């Protein structure tokens, strides 16, 4: 994984996912997010993964790590930092397909 540092300005989770999708994905590994956000930057950041719908009014709650590195769930429209995993980006070459490997073996 090649993370990019927490982005500024802070943004809500759907926008963080959209920004990361341009270069990779929103980091789901809590230890990585904790390192780059809580320890290095002392900022609160989104953690990748699916939102959790637990509010009775249907509002989505998303995982985040506090400045202290503790995991919480809060409304997804809060503005926080985020870390992208650029190793999973659109510029990464996909692994060869099984068919491609078989054709190369025949050559």
Which residue would you say has higher pLDDT here, 11 or 95? 11
Residue 42's CB: how many other CB atoms inside 10 A?
10
pLDDT tens sequence across 7-66 = 556 889 999 999 888 888 899 999 999 988 888 778 899 999 887 777 788 888 999 999
Where does 3-106 sit in CATH, by number? 3.10.100.10
pLDDT tens sequence across 65-78 = 999 999 999 999 99
Q: Residue 11 and residue 57: Cα distance in Å, rounded?
A: 23
Domain boundaries, the chain: 3-106
* The predicted structure's pLDDT at residue 24: 86
* The predicted structure's pLDDT at residue 89: 54
Q: Residue 61 and residue 18: Cα distance in Å, rounded?
A: 17
Helix, strand, coil share (%) of the chain residues, nearest 5: 30, 20, 50
């Amino acid at each position: 994984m090649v993370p990019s540092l927490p982005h500024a300005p802070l943004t809500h989770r759907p926008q963080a996912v959209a920004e990361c999708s341009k270069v990779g994905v929103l980091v789901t590994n809590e230890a990585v997010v904790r390192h780059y956000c809580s320890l290095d930057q002392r900022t609160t950041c989104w953690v990748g993964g699916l939102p959790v719908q637990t509010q009775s009014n249907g509002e989505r709650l998303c995982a985040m790590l506090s400045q202290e590195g503790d995991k919480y769930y809060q409304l997804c429209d809060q503005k926080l930092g985020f870390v992208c995993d650029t190793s999973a980006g659109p510029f990464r070459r996909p692994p060869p397909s099984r068919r491609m490997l078989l054709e190369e073996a025949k050559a």
